[in-house]
Amino acid sequence: MRVIIAEKPSVARDIAKVLDIKASKKGFIEGRGCAVTWAFGHLVTLQEPGEYDPALKRWSLDTLPFVPEEFKLKLISNRGVAEQFQIIKKLCKQAEEIVCATDAGREGELIFRYVLALSNCETKPIRRLWLNSLTPDAIRAAFKDLKDGHDFDPLYAAARCRSESDWIVGLNATRYYTVRHGRIGTGNDRVLWTIGRVQTPVLAMIVERDDTILQFRPQPFWECSTRYREVLFKYTGKRFEKEAKAQDLLEKITNQDFKITAITAKKKKEQAPQLFDLTSLQRELNKLHGISAADTLTATQSLYEAKLVTYPRTDSRYLSEDMKPRVPKILEQLKAIRSEQIEPLNLKQLPFTKRIINDKKVTDHHAIIPTGMIPRRFGPNEQLVYDAITTQFITAFYPPCLKNITTVDGVSNQVKFQAKGTQIADPGWTVLFPRKKKAAADGQTLPAFEKGETGAHEPFLREGKTMPPKHFSENSLLGAMEAAGKFVEDDTLREALKERGIGTPATRAAIIETLLRRNYIRREKKQLRCTDMGRCLIALIRDPLLKSPEMTGEWEEKLKQIERNELKPDEFMTGIEHYIRNMIQDSNTTQLDRSRWGSCPFCGKEVIKGNKAYGCSDWKEGCTFVLQPDWNGKILSPKQIQILLQQHILPHPIRIDDELRILILSTQGFPMDLRPPSADRQKHTAKPDRP
């Protein structure tokens, strides 16, 4: 008997229908010498420390770090899991061959192999079903091309390393920081500080951005421009930081003629946007409609399971060569709902450029595209996601947008100015995007200038102030995660940096939701902002590598090397074990710098001690930070002042009624009666034996 294991019941039913397997049993479908069964996503997970040794149930610094010699598995505790697992185990024991039909990626492979391991069926012959979509044709084609399951051993090795390294770093760091920094006063309650190999660097990025904005001090500047024949010309030099210098330039050109010195016209070709991978799709939906990354993934997964789009958890924006014959058929089918947009395309001679077809840029899965099946109904957000994917797919085959860009150079009393104008010669692909078409057409219309012409002009100054960077949105945070903290808008540069991203396309949305759920960040409209809890956690973590996006990006790259069989799993795990041991050892030896008070939380300059309070050394330049050591009659010691300032726990003025702020102080040995009573305190705490 052949046993086929799918990741979800709905996928199992689709496979059974295509294979004409019809006899429904409890937990599986049987017929034609096959049994199709299913998991519920993850059924199996790694055991907890207390299951290796009961003594490890108690959280203690003495037992850290704990790294098992061999990791052991157990069933997750969700309802119905044990019963379904026993059905799968029984079928696997009877099987002559087992087919892995879970999602075709790292986590899907892990789900299948963990089930196999806990069933003691790892020696059974295994095959791999690799699906890019769930249409009947795709399922039939994949079954005709079943792979040897052991061809995917490197993928499983990478998945196992991801699982075990997250366990090692997350569990040990969480226990360490909770035990060392989580005690509240003399009671038994603790603050639960949860640490993650991936989530903590992401939180650090948000905290750093928010603190940069908080510490930002606007600086005035002046820009010089002039109007000649109703056209705005801008001064080609740098803007001025001193008004007097700007006024000098203005006086130099006032009542002087303006002369056109050069006119340059060039054509610009703007290519159609590339097909979507998951991250670019999530960013687009967040930017245009404010949909969260998690909700976009959920909607795309639903569309995939409804056979309307291809596999969503992809990091590729290209199609493979073997897709060429299928593309015209998909577009022909889509005419039923997009006839006006598809009609201009010659389906017999589509422009398959390297921006669309590139085998070298397709790894496990190609870009997300529609399958050609026509939707009947949609759930929440599914309409917006489907429309975005379909429009992007059609757009890829449209001609480029052609622009005529004219640059006019002018001079007044040897001071150089420049004006630019843009006209759309051929809108090309932008006709499918009214907003982008309007943006492309924006810009002043230039009259017919002649080189050497002169005339009067109207020079003027504009005063402005420098602006801080923007708070992260999900769109910009996903871009930063994709580029390992080096957030860039340019698609080409982002592609080059993708190999060093934080997390994977499939996990980035979950990381953001985890930080939200743990109250380390919060949503404010489209912005993602750190909370006091999140800022405090990053302040407590002294190890820079644990907060480093670049380091986490390197770990992700090593996992990809394991997938490609270029790195041995043991080498990676040895590095993770050495890292967690060094992290705990170095954190235990962290010392305060007794020679200084610390840095100003507003501007970063050194703090100095005055007669009655502590303040910023840059007070003469306007920094207003002051820290009073006398709180409700209690005097903070010099050591407590250094803890507050050197560990960056004070990002803005302290409020005595801020419970969390006082809770933070209590973890550092501050007087407990500074902490006001509150019925809400339990939401910040957890029992030490049940983190």
Per the DSSP assignment, residues forming a β-bridge with 69 are none
End-to-end CA distance of the chain: 45
CA angle in degrees (0–180, nearest 5) for 124-126-127: 165
Q: Which of 176, 311, 386, 579 is catalytic?
A: 311
| Helices (runs of H) and strands (runs of E) counted in the chain | 21, 23
Q: Using an 8 Å Cβ cutoff, are 21 and 31 in contact?
A: yes
- Token representation of residue 179: 């035990």
- Rounded CA gap, 63 and 401, in Å? 63
Give the other-Cβ count within 10 Å of 302's Cβ: 20
Q: Report which residue type is found at 480.
A: A
- Token representation of residue 212: 């940069």
Active site (annotated) includes residue 311: yes
- Token representation of residue 57: 């149930």
Residue 488 burial (CB < 10 Å; 0-12/13-18/19+)? middle
- Rounded CA gap, 262 and 252, in Å? 22
Per the DSSP assignment, residues forming a β-bridge with 530 are 521
Q: How far is CA 153 from CA 105, 125, 148, 529, in A?
A: 12, 13, 10, 40
- Token representation of residue 429: 């692909």
Q: Using an 8 Å Cβ cutoff, are 267 and 245 in contact?
A: no
Per the DSSP assignment, residues forming a β-bridge with 232 are 227
- Residue whose tokens read 């170095």: 586
- Rounded CA gap, 288 and 299, in Å? 16
Q: How far is CA 416 from CA 62, 141, 393, in A?
A: 70, 65, 45
- Residue whose tokens read 């084609």: 141
- Residue whose tokens read 């509240």: 184
Closest CA to 175 of 67, 313, 331: 67
- Rounded CA gap, 615 and 599, in Å? 10
- Rounded CA gap, 383 and 296, in Å? 11
- Residue whose tokens read 């055991």: 47
Q: Using an 8 Å Cβ cutoff, are 229 and 552 in contact?
A: no
CB-based contacts of 533: which residues, under 8 Å, 6+ apart?
518, 519, 520, 660, 684
What is the DSSP secondary-structure string of 38-54? E--S--EEEPPHHHH-G
Q: Please report the beta strands in 68-159, taking only residues with DSSP state E, as ranges in sequence order.
A: 73-75, 97-101, 126-128, 147-148
Per the DSSP assignment, residues forming a β-bridge with 368 are 276
Catalytic (active-site) positions: 311
